[in-house]
Amino acid sequence: MKGIDVSSYQGVIDWKKVKSNGVSFAILKIIRKDLTIDKQFLSNSTGCIVNNIPFSVYNYTYALTREKARVDANAVVDIIKKNNIDKMKSFKKEIWMDVEDETQHGLGHTLIDIVKEYQNVIESNGYKFGVYTGLSFYNTEFSKYYNELDCPFWIARYPSKANMLFTQNPNDLKKPVIKNNLWGWQYTSYGIIDGIEGNVDFNICYEDENSVDNKNGISTFSLVKEGSQSISKNFKVKEFRCKDGSDKILIDVDFVKDKLQKIRDHFGVPVTINSAYRTVSWNTKCGGAKNSYHLKGMAFDIVVKGKTPQEVAKYAQSLGINGIIRYNTFVHIDSRETKYWAINNNGKVSSVSQF
């Protein structure tokens, strides 16, 4: 999806024209440095509501302490509630913490504490939370602590300073690569679109890239909220997470309970899940098949402690599992409906009728 983010800097916007030019979403600045409402926020939110444009909000924060982060976050929540924004269907209940100010460089782990404090206020009020920042800022200030941040990132990276029309697309080779979940890419601040005078930021959102048609029985979980929840006697939700840190996890729960748990019970030793659910971007990064069952939460690459892949594949076959691929160091099993048994020997794949 492609969208824009705006503030009072863009002045009065003709949202009808903006919508007619293909904008799928908008992110609106909600609050100023002095914590008063952005001068165009109410006009912009009304424009989105009237024209049925999904929107979220952002706050450029100058917070240098947890206390200031808490004050900022509460100020944003107060504006939303005071103006009944959260009752509007177009509002995605999504709040972005814009972290990029020069004063926030070099704070080390303190910055992570600041973000978490802000996040706690936002999520405790029932809203979704994410961080906006530039790629350079992310690499210097966030990357080293990536595993402590359970939230999506909206990253700015501008391949070009030339004016761009909304119909033009950026060079995909310049798409930001980060360790956390990449929600979206702000790819230019030199955007030109009918309905807005002057330049505006253009964005690509990857939120829906994982909207895969799944068979019945696939459940969606949140790593943050449900990671410690048990799926079966020996498996928890967090064991099936995507390696890119995405909060969303798809799991074929029935398969885990019926097949994966039986493998664990049969061998009586720990089963390590090397790879389960994958986002589209992560699947591409690790060279997975375009229509991989990992995208649907239906595939599991496993290692059974002290057992050879051959032993594991043979027992999986006895359970009637249709998707089995024996690798040299692990076994891939999935819940496909059509039988496919194979051996992958260093990239050379051959189908088999028995293991």
What is the rounded distance in angstroms from the CA atom of residue 96 to the CA atom of residue 75? Answer: 13
- Helix, coil or strand: residue 289: coil
Query: Which pLDDT value is given to residue 212?
Result: 38
Q: What is the dihedral of CA 308, 314, 319, 324, to 10 degrees?
A: 80
What percentage of the chain has pLDDT greater than the value 90? 81
Query: Which pLDDT value is given to residue 206?
Result: 85
**Angle between helix 109-124 and helix 66-82 axes, rounded to 10 deg:** 30
Mean predicted confidence (pLDDT) in 173-195:
94
Confidence label for 172 from pLDDT (cuts 50, 70 and 90): confident
What is the rounded distance in angstroms from the CA atom of residue 301 to the CA atom of residue 273? Answer: 6
Mean predicted confidence (pLDDT) in 190-194:
97
DSSP state of 78: H
Query: Which pLDDT value is given to residue 215?
Result: 41
What is the rounded distance in angstroms from the CA atom of residue 68 to the CA atom of residue 338? Answer: 56
Element (H, E) at 3: strand 2-6
DSSP string, 114-129: HHHHHHHHHHHTT-EE
- Give me the phi and psi of 203, to 5 degrees please: -140, 150
Query: Which pLDDT value is given to residue 13?
Result: 97
Residue bearing the bigger pLDDT, 115 or 87: 115
pLDDT surpassing 80 at residue 339: yes
Query: Which pLDDT value is given to residue 266?
Result: 97
Query: Which pLDDT value is given to residue 181?
Result: 85
Query: Which pLDDT value is given to residue 217?
Result: 64
pLDDT surpassing 60 at residue 279: yes
* pLDDT tens digits along 90-107: 999 999 999 999 999 999
Whole-structure pTM over 0.75, yes or no?
A: no
What is the rounded distance in angstroms from the CA atom of residue 279 to the CA atom of residue 127? Answer: 23
Query: Which pLDDT value is given to residue 291?
Result: 81
pLDDT surpassing 50 at residue 34: yes
Residue bearing the bigger pLDDT, 76 or 171: 76
Q: What is the maximal distance between C-alpha atoms in the chain?
A: 70
- Give me the phi and psi of 86, to 5 degrees please: -70, -5
pLDDT surpassing 70 at residue 210: no
- From residue 31, alpha-carbon distances to 42, 60, 94, 97 in Å are 11, 8, 15, 11
Query: Which pLDDT value is given to residue 289?
Result: 85
Mean predicted confidence (pLDDT) in 261-275:
96
Confidence label for 214 from pLDDT (cuts 50, 70 and 90): very low
- Give me the phi and psi of 38, to 5 degrees please: -55, 135
- Half-sphere exposure at residue 314, Cβ-oriented, CA atoms within 13 angstroms: 7
Mean predicted confidence (pLDDT) in 185-214:
82
Mean predicted confidence (pLDDT) in 58-81:
97
- In degrees, rounded to 5, the angle at the alpha carbon of residue 340 between the alpha carbons of residues 334 and 341 is 95
Q: Taking Cα atoms as reference points, which of 172, 278, 195, 179 lies closest to residue 12?
A: 195
Tokens at 83, concatenated = 């103006």
Give the ranges where the chain is alpha helix by DSSP (H): 15-20, 41-50, 66-82, 109-124, 135-137, 223-226, 253-255, 261-267, 280-285, 309-318
Q: Cβ distance 48 to 28 under 8 Å?
A: yes
- Mean pLDDT of all residues in the chain? 93
Sketch out the chain's domains with CATH numbers: 2-205 (3.20.20.80), 218-351 (3.30.1380.10)
* pLDDT tens digits along 219-260: 889 898 889 989 999 999 999 999 998 899 999 999 999 999
Mean predicted confidence (pLDDT) in 57-80:
97
- Helix, coil or strand: residue 89: coil
Confidence label for 211 from pLDDT (cuts 50, 70 and 90): very low
